[in-house]
Amino acid sequence: MEGVLGLPGTGSAAGGGGGGGGVPSGSSGNGSMSTVSKAEVVEQDYVGMLSEVSSYPAESELELGLGLSLGGAGKATNKPSAWGEYGRILTAKDFPSIVSRGSSASSSSSPGTGRPHPSVITPVSGTKRTADSVAQEVGSGNGSSSQVVGWPPIRAYRMNSLVSQLKAPSSEEEERMIPENNRSKDALAKGTNNGNTKSKSNVQEKGRLPSSLFVKVNMDGVPIGRKVDLNAHNCYETLAQALEEMFHKPTTTVNTARGEKEHGVVVEAEKPSKLLDGSSEFVLTYEDKEGDWMLVGDVPWGMFLNTVKRLRIMRTSEANGLAPRFQERDARQRNKPI
Amino acid sequence: MAYSFPEEVLEHVFSFIHSYKDRNAISLVCKSWYDIERWCRRRIFIGNCYAVTPRITIRRFPELRSVSLKGKPHFADYNLVPHKWGANLYPWVAAMAQAYPWLEELRLKRMVVTDDTLEMISHSFKNFKVLVLSSCEGFTTHGLAAIAANCRNLRELDLQETEVDDPSGNWLSHFPESCTSLVSLNFTRLEGEVSFSALERLVGRCTNLRTLRLNQAVPLDKLANLLCRAPQLVDLGTGIYSGEVRPELYSKLVSAFAGCKELKNLSGLWEVVPAYLPAIYPVCPGLTSLNLSYATIQSVDLIKLVSQCQNLQQLWVLDYIEDSGLDALAASCKDLRELRVFPSDPYGAEQNVSLTEQGLVSVSEGCPKLHSVLYFCRQMSNAALFTIARNRPNMTRFRLCILEPHTPDYLTLQPLDVGFGAIVEHCKNLRRLSLSGLLTDRVFEYIGTHAKKLRMLSVAFAGDSDLGLHHVLSGCKSLRKLEIRDCPFGDKALLANASKLETMRSLWMSSCSVSFGACKLLGQKMQRLNVEVIDESGPPDSSPDDCPVERLYAYRSVAGPRFDRPTFVWTVDENSAMRLS
């Protein structure tokens, strides 16, 4: 077993290492073992290779911890996810190779919790299962738990940049310029995915949004804007509530006794209550894709998500004439929740 | 008795020593060296702004010219740290305004900076030269206008990855006509329009400008104008790289790029239109760094571009490059040192591009200098990890993110323990590691045994029990930063290794199984450790002591408990009373 997996420095002397430093090419003619290009080695070959582990404390000192069981003890119900209606439920037929291997798994260390591995076979439900069974999502103000906060670890501006490019109308023009022939060839050659590779246009057609959709929110009178994740809500009510909390709760602390003040922004505006029905001093507005400012609440929620670019909590006095029939709607809304 | 050299001589000798590590070592030799060194130290790096106070810093180093500060923990980048947690710059600037009137440089990461603070900087330091704000927040272009207007010798204004609100749209005009000192200007994340005439004039008169990174508001034709005025640029971040395809604009771009003979770094490239890409080809052979991570172009165009960059050392790209593109990269770019592949559709359930572990294996084989990797993908195997480890024992940073948590080896359905084990065993200089996929306690056993130079470890959705955490804390001798989320690690390992925490910069644990009781104990017993429980749902002692806390952030500090704690941060000190805000 050693011989198969010698370190580059030692193994290359025999094989294609040749004269000195150069990188041996991938196609190793005479069995050079110094670099391996394809994943040919089977797991058993190297399982025993790792050095003996130094002794760790007797398990009586560290009894196997309580630990959250991340596999099965999660929430029972699956909350409907934002893109449930768009996702396709894959079946075992889509993954023939994986199913056949699954039954002959080698006997190396098995996962402690004994959780099943259906996530490979049905990734759509697997995503939901993982999100639900993962430990309590941190209370960062998001209402929904069908997403995992902060996962995958990608900065929000990166996500928003991708989303806005995929949603932009001009990208449709671009796609005609993009050759797509490299896709299907690669899919056949690799055979690793289910041949269902999607190009950008597919994502656009299905209108699938990412799990997080952070947009900027500014409030009149407050210099620094905040961000809110629209996908954490599925109706205007919860969004308005979240915004009210965000811009009203004072969170800074001042300890004057020590003379070291925290220098932060304290919101001094009057309590903006009932942003949606026009009974407060502020109204909630948004800028849409065309750059127009509209009153929030007129269009169906899904349509709103597709067109909103950012939000602004505007003084009612400035919002007159914002959208046609503002006054009429104002009166109507007092009686009818959205 | 031999006397040492006169102080002036020692000071002169020390002035050639720049590395922080060496400076710290010098100060430990003897009392007089400590004293001499502290008077002649000019640059300082504080990895955690709460580890020390401004007062202590100023007392020890009275003559600083350059201060680097880091604030929030790394997971703040992924929204795991609540708003208003802290890391305010103001108290530092207020203190330094008195103590360091000759301060020249401030480099900040993940700090909260207000307009008032920026204004104070601009008025307090007459020779202020360098302002770097990386992933910061809290200010608008009003603050920037103050910096532009008042810092007469400003050389660098670098807002990398910091989002800035732009209420007025006019801050660039605040650079006086007499300002010609700019060497580096970066405003990529600035929202809002930019006055092109002001920008063009500024660029035109700053003949030493080497770095210019624009925001998305700068279109292609304006880019061409700017390049014509600054052909000496070494580092360029374009604005939007798209628009209607017009021949005259295209030729304008071609000649603009052709004039840039010194260009080494190229970034920006938002919304790339492939038809305009060939304008870049002339500069490709000279490029050492290329950031295509916002360019949603397909593999074919990416390959054409990358194949011409024979001297490329650093590539950031979206997974549109696919395995075939990475094969081409491995064949063309033999000097590649760093590769980052970002996901184009991270939340999609199905694979949308043909990028697998094979791409990374190819690059690990073809690029002998590759030592830094960040790779997002959907599948991985132990075999591939083993291959990569054997190919690249010189790896120093390895961050793998398999998008779906708990994903096993797709070939064997086993955990990825042995694969990562191979990485830590073969890559003896590994300094940074991020794990993902299905992992048991075994992987931590391997890490604790082999990763002796590891400084930063990021763990998510992994492990079975406290044993995993114990392996890491007891084995990783060089560990400085440990960040963990959603793992079944709890009190036992933490308390058994409490003293280890004082040798590290910080520990972050969220959605784990650490109880409030353990946090209290840790805070009481460890004098030089600040233990913060971050819990927005209410006081942790309103639940039983064995209830797990939402988030734990423990960091070593000589500053004692901090005074700017928000309402949702609970700390414990040795008086065993829980301190509230």
> Which of B563, B565, B568, B569 is most worth mutating to test chain A (most A CB atoms within 10 A of its CB)?
B563
- CB–CB contacts below 8 A, A to B: 373
Give the C-alpha separation, B230 to B185, whole Å.
Answer: 12
Give the C-alpha separation, A95 to A245, whole Å.
Answer: 46
Q: What is the mean pLDDT of residues B8-30?
A: 93
Which residues on chain B are in Cβ contact (under 8 Å) with A161? 270, 294
Give the C-alpha separation, A242 to B491, whole Å.
Answer: 34
CB burial string B465-494: b at 16+ within 10 A, e below = bbbbbbbbbbbbeebebbbbbbbbbbbbbb
Give the CA diameter of chain B. 82
Which residues on chain A are in Cβ contact (under 8 Å) with B189? 157
Query: Is the CB of residue B119 less than 8 Å away from at least one CB of chain A?
Result: no
Q: What is the mean pLDDT of residues B131-144?
A: 95
Which residues on chain A are in Cβ contact (under 8 Å) with B334? 23
Res B198: pLDDT: 94
Cβ distance of A152 and B376 shorter than 8 Å: yes
Picking from B292, B336, B64, the residue whose alpha carbon sits closest to that of residue B56 is: B64
Task: Tell me the nearest-neighbour CA distance from B94 into chain A, angstroms.
Answer: 10
Give the C-alpha separation, A282 to A319, whole Å.
Answer: 9
* ipTM here: 0.90
Which residues on chain B are in Cβ contact (under 8 Å) with A251? 83-84, 566-568
Which residues on chain A are in Cβ contact (under 8 Å) with B293? 158
Chain B, window 265-304: residues with a beta carbon less than 8 angstroms from a chain A beta carbon: 270-271, 273-275, 293-294, 296-301
Q: Which residue has the higher pLDDT, B422 or A255?
A: B422
Res A71: pLDDT: 33
SS3 B525: helix
Distances (CA, A) of B514 to A16, A160, B141, B508, B517: 52, 34, 42, 11, 8
Question: In the structure, what pLDDT confidence band is assigned to residue A30 with cuts at 50, 70 and 90?
Answer: very low
Contact B443, B420 (CB under 8 A): yes
Q: Is A337 exposed, middle or buried (CB count within 10 Å of its CB: 0-12, 13-18, 19+)?
A: exposed
Query: Is the CB of residue B413 less than 8 Å away from at least one CB of chain A?
Result: yes
Give the C-alpha separation, B242 to B246, whole Å.
Answer: 11
Of A149, A171, A197, the CB nearest to B79: A149
| A193-219 pLDDT tens trace | 333 333 333 333 333 445 667 888 988
Cβ distance of B300 and A265 shorter than 8 Å: no
- On average, the pLDDT of chain B sits at 94
Res A289: pLDDT: 81
Which residues on chain B are in Cβ contact (under 8 Å) with A118? none
Cβ distance of A43 and B383 shorter than 8 Å: yes
Cβ distance of A51 and B425 shorter than 8 Å: yes
Of B165, B343, B387, the CB nearest to A36: B387
Cβ distance of B566 and A252 shorter than 8 Å: yes
> Which of A34, A107, A120 is most worth mutating to test chain B (most B CB atoms within 10 A of its CB)?
A120
SS3 B547: coil
Q: How close are the terminal C-alpha atoms of chain B, in Å?
A: 56
Res A156: pLDDT: 86
Of chain A, the percentage scoring pLDDT greater than 90 comes to 2
Query: Is the CB of residue B346 less than 8 Å away from at least one CB of chain A?
Result: yes
Res A316: pLDDT: 82
Cβ distance of B442 and A47 shorter than 8 Å: no
| B517-548 pLDDT tens trace | 999 999 999 989 999 999 888 787 777 888 89
Counting every residue, how long is chain B? Answer: 581
Give the C-alpha separation, B64 to B265, whole Å.
Answer: 31
Which residues on chain B are in Cβ contact (under 8 Å) with A56? 445, 448, 467, 470-471, 474
Of A153, A165, A253, the CB nearest to B296: A165
Which residues on chain A are in Cβ contact (under 8 Å) with B88? 262-264
- In single-letter form, the type of residue at position A176 comes to R
Residue in the block written with tokens 């990475």: B326
- Predicted confidence (pLDDT) at residue A265 exceeds the cutoff of 50: no
Give the C-alpha separation, B130 to B149, whole Å.
Answer: 14
> Which residues does residue B106 pair with via DSSP β-bridges, in sequence order?
B67, B131
Query: Is the CB of residue B392 less than 8 Å away from at least one CB of chain A?
Result: no
CB atoms closer than 10 angstroms to residue A302:
12
Question: In the structure, what pLDDT confidence band is assigned to residue A321 with cuts at 50, 70 and 90?
Answer: low
Query: How many alpha carbons lie under 13 Å from residue B521 in its C-beta half-sphere?
Result: 15
Question: In the structure, what pLDDT confidence band is assigned to residue B403 with cuts at 50, 70 and 90?
Answer: very high
| B450-495 pLDDT tens trace | 999 999 999 999 999 999 999 999 999 999 999 999 999 999 999 9
| B335-376 pLDDT tens trace | 999 999 999 988 887 888 999 999 999 999 999 999 999 999
Question: In the structure, what pLDDT confidence band is assigned to residue B148 with cuts at 50, 70 and 90?
Answer: very high
Res B581: pLDDT: 40
Task: Tell me the nearest-neighbour CA distance from A335 into chain B, angstroms.
Answer: 33
Give the C-alpha separation, B54 to B96, whole Å.
Answer: 8
Cβ distance of B80 and A113 shorter than 8 Å: no
Res A54: pLDDT: 38
- Predicted confidence (pLDDT) at residue A327 exceeds the cutoff of 50: no
Res B470: pLDDT: 97
Cβ distance of A62 and B438 shorter than 8 Å: no
Of A37, A113, A200, the CB nearest to B296: A200
Query: Is the CB of residue B130 less than 8 Å away from at least one CB of chain A?
Result: no
Which residues on chain B are in Cβ contact (under 8 Å) with A42? 383
Q: How close are the terminal C-alpha atoms of chain A, in Å?
A: 69
Picking from B333, B300, B295, the residue whose alpha carbon sits closest to that of residue B316 is: B295
SS3 B571: strand
Which residues on chain B are in Cβ contact (under 8 Å) with A260? 91, 563-564
* Closest residue of chain B to A161, computed from CA coordinates: B294
Query: Is the CB of residue B99 less than 8 Å away from at least one CB of chain A?
Result: no
Which residues on chain B are in Cβ contact (under 8 Å) with A151? 78, 405, 460
* Closest residue of chain B to A213, computed from CA coordinates: B347
Cβ distance of A264 and B114 shorter than 8 Å: yes
Residue in the block written with tokens 């132990």: B382
Task: Tell me the nearest-neighbour CA distance from A117 into chain B, angstroms.
Answer: 8
Which residues on chain B are in Cβ contact (under 8 Å) with A190? 323, 354, 356, 358
Strands (E), chain A: 214-219, 226-229, 282-288, 293-295, 308-315
Cβ distance of A134 and B461 shorter than 8 Å: yes
| A45-93 pLDDT tens trace | 443 343 433 343 444 344 333 333 333 333 333 444 333 333 343 344 4
Task: Tell me the nearest-neighbour CA distance from B382 into chain A, angstroms.
Answer: 7
